Amino acid sequence: MTAVLASAAGCRQFTYAPDRASRPYPAHLPQGETVRVQVLSNGITIDVVNATSTTYRDVDLWLNRRFCRFLPRLGAGESITLRLDTFWDDVGEGPQVGGFFATREPTPIVLAEIQVDETSPLVGLIAVEVVAEPF
């Protein structure tokens, strides 16, 4: 019985850290304009490429209407790389991250938005999944 419980616990593949829980997705806010900021996901990290002339300061970056991370700054024309294991939902779960040792497919990033404050519409971003070519 102990072996069964240990193997079941070992199969838990998602990231879970209740102490890192963010807040619920702000579903009451509509999505406003979509801007030329690309979010390129490879399953381990995302590259955020700001092709606009706008600098975003002190914003929350939302992925898939669930996972959140604070960004102190995303400058105009700037590109930044963020690890997917630094995003959290309101119960402390993170997206499934890929990589060489991953046993499950990474969470696809299909929607990305910036929240600038508590009342303004969310800013839509362009989510792109980068698919690695097989050897």
d(CA 127, CA 47): 10
Residue 41 lies in a domain: yes
Residue 8 has pLDDT above 80, yes or no: no
Q: What is the pLDDT of residues 11-31, one digit of tens each?
A: 445 577 888 899 999 999 999
Residue 1 lies in a domain: no
Residue 9 lies in a domain: no
Q: For all residues of the chain together, what is the average pLDDT?
A: 87
d(CA 76, CA 12): 40
Q: How many domains does the chain have?
A: 1
Domain membership of residue 76 as a residue range: 15-129
Per-residue pLDDT, averaged over 65-85, amounts to 97
